[in-house]
Amino acid sequence: MITKAADWLRIPLGPSDGVRTMVTGMLKRVQDEGDLVIDQLALEFDNVKPTLITLKPFEEYNLDNELADSILIAHKRIEAFAKFQLGGVKSHSYRDEYGTFGQNISAIEKIGAYIPGGRYPLISTALMTLIPAKVAGSKTRIACSPSVNPALLAAASLAGATRFIQLGGVQAIAALAYGYQNTPGVDLIVGPGNIWVNEAKKQLQCIVKIDGLAGPSELLALCDGDQPLEWLALDALAQAEHDPFACSLIVSENQDWLCRLDRYLENNKQFSNLVKANQIQLIKTESVEQSIEFSESYAPEHLMLCHDGIEEKDLSNYGSLFVGANSAVALGDYITGPNHTLPTLGSARQTGGLSVNTFLRIQTIQKVNDVGRKVLSKSAMPLAKAEGLMSHYESLKIRS
């Protein structure tokens, strides 16, 4: 079914009051009683007692050669991109007649990486969350996952996890925030998760930094109709398979091409069920300008630009941009290098995805000289007086 852009409406997704209340209660119990409650919750929800896993060197997991090579290539490319990002951030300063002023870049010391493993063992997420942390210089890198798939463990080892806990869900986020079995609480938690994990991260923002609240996966493809139907259909299917609430939108002003794509989806069973569930949707726009406007308003997690009439500079709201039909989102999920942990539900209008910068602190430094003490104090005194902060005023006056 083809929907006109003017008639399309994003259905907001969020936790119910029941989810919020349950997560609040679980976190309160962990805060009050600690490890015992984490163990109880793990047994209750996953039927597994949390285990501290001693990671082995990558080679000792004896993965089949094809999978091992794939992980090694992905690791190399993700690490290279993280180093490229780090090169754009530096500690530096400048000097003027009043003193020296600058910034110091330092890594967040202790980080936790949540690696989903309930529906699928997300091997790639182990690489995407831990490699930038290691490149940034975070010394403590604790990975939590309900999965102990050998390939996931091997990837976590290769990516630099300093500790691995077999633990998932709300209880994993609580363990990372509050600490667990002599493992200290962390300063930053990163990684995607379901509605329960997101709610736990949201409620713990007052005590720990989080990377963001990622919702179900999203794809928006802007197409002019020159793309192979099968490619775009499979791109849509790939993102829709992440989660029952994941959504793929294919947007075009080319009515004939959309109709052919619609027939193709309807006549292929692997797609038709997702179309009926609105996980794959075809959006007809009236012009190139409306296609751009629709994309900018939606602010998708993954944006595919397959349209000769639209340039990269025309688009600003997206988690990651994939230019041309060669640039499959699935490549970005695994191996191109940029991170696959990206903003969803329109938050790309305010933030970008996980990167090496997430693991860094920018701290400023000020060293005022004698001239600056006198001149700047006199200049600042009227501001303090106007604000009514007289102790500030006196602090400045005595130095002027």
Catalytic residues, which ones?
Answer: 301-302
Report how far residue 291's alpha carbon sits from residue 346's, in angstroms, rounded to the nearest whole number: 16
| Residue 297 CB coordination number (10 Å) | 13
Residue 323 exposed, middle or buried by CB count within 10 Å (0-12, 13-18, 19+) = middle
- Token couple for 40: 């109880």
* Short-list 228, 215, 188, 198, CA closest to 302: 215
Residue 247 is which amino acid? C
- Per the DSSP assignment, residues forming a β-bridge with 107 are 360
- Per the DSSP assignment, residues forming a β-bridge with 366 are 101
* Strand boundaries in 49-114, DSSP class E: 51-53, 92-96, 99-107, 110-114
Contacts 24+ apart (CB under 8 A), 37-45: 37/171, 38/167, 38/171, 38/174, 38/175, 38/180, 41/169, 41/170, 41/171, 42/167, 42/168, 42/169, 42/171, 45/168, 45/169, 45/171
Strand 360-368 relative to strand 99-107, pairing: antiparallel
Q: Are 186 and 177 in contact (CB under 8 A)?
A: yes
Angle at the Cα of 43 from the Cα atoms of 42 and 46, rounded to 5 degrees? 65
Report how far residue 63's alpha carbon sits from residue 297's, in angstroms, rounded to the nearest whole number: 44
Length of the chain: 400
- Token couple for 311: 């340039």
Q: Are 125 and 159 in contact (CB under 8 A)?
A: no
Burial 45-68, CB ≥16 within 10 A → b, else e: bbeeebeebebeebeebebeeeeb
- Per the DSSP assignment, residues forming a β-bridge with 362 are 105
